[in-house]
Amino acid sequence: MYKKIDLHIHTTCSDGTFSPKEIIDMAIENGLDAIAITDHDSIDAYTKDLFEYANQKGIKLIPGVEMSTRYYGIGIHVLGYNFDINNKQLVNALNSANNARINYLTNVSKLLENLGYKVHTDELKVLPRVTKAHIAQDVVSSPQNKDILLKTFSHIPSKGEFIEAIMNEGCPAYTKKYSITPMEAANIIRNANGKVILAHPVCYVYEDNLEIDKIFELVKLMNADGIEAHYLFLNKDNINQDESKFWDNYAKSNNLLSTIGSDFHQLDDKHIELGFKGTSFEISKEETNKIMDYLLNKKDC
């Protein structure tokens, strides 16, 4: 029996601030029974040593990944679970995505520098996985950018603010990068014998103004096993919005799995902690075990 799970977690293998082993330790501290590390386009966390460490600590570790895709002109994230980590097609797709990230880093750094920002490109290149978030954090945390940031924003922005104002599509430092569609990502995960989940649909509504009907359509086109319905969305006012009931009802009415994830990256005073620690956000033990049974054994949802 599983009492508490968290199926959306990031580590230093992508843009998280804790190592995979530190995540295992934190999971124990926060009372979790099972987790999935879902780094961006990376399964580097899943070493034999980590599986052994999790087993020794009594944590069920499910292979996971969050694949970056584009559709409707926006970034769509596709979660994969319990797949073969040695599947060649999956490994090749993730390698291609990360090669594209290096090209993206080079191109976007030039655009940012043309705007007057200092980017420590050489330092960013040595990271295991460089993401848009890494680049933005480098810019906003650099004293060399203080004056231009204050001039542009009237304050030192968060990395999220900087991305939305400077780096996203339609912004001055936007640059296109290699991408696949959600349907292609779903097929890659399925071919690796994994389960396909659309990550945080609530985000596409509020961050990208995507119509809900288009999200419904996308889920069908992906032939997804489920959606990440149980999720707290941090809005621009730094208030957590809980629309889990709406998405859970949609999942259940369409015979889809309804998963749960904190999208944990770091410890701060804004974002959700691993396992939703410090909140009243939870699902029943029955629902928890239903999710685990499906992900591990492909039982009906």
Task: Name all domains of the chain by residue range, CATH numbers in brackets.
Answer: 5-85+181-297 (3.20.20.140), 95-167 (no CATH)
Q: Residue written as tokens 């569609």?
A: 181
Percent of the chain predicted with pLDDT > 70: 98
pLDDT digits (tens, 9 = 90+) for 173-209: 998 878 899 999 999 999 999 999 999 999 999 988 9
pLDDT digits (tens, 9 = 90+) for 139-168: 999 999 999 999 999 999 999 899 999 999
Q: Nearest to residue 202, comparing CAs of 215, 189, 219, 217?
A: 215
Residue 300's pLDDT is: 65
pLDDT digits (tens, 9 = 90+) for 7-56: 999 999 998 999 999 999 999 999 999 999 999 999 999 999 999 999 99
Phi/psi of residue 91, nearest 5 degrees: -60, -45
Other residues' Cβ atoms within 10 Å of the Cβ of residue 60: 16
Burial string for 65-82 (b: 16+ CB within 10 Å, else e) reads bbbbbbbeeebbbbbbbb
Residue 298's pLDDT is: 63
pLDDT digits (tens, 9 = 90+) for 77-134: 999 999 999 999 999 999 999 888 889 999 999 999 999 999 999 999 877 678 888 8
Contact between 63 and 36 (Cβ < 8 Å): yes
| Cα–Cα dist 229/252, whole Å | 10
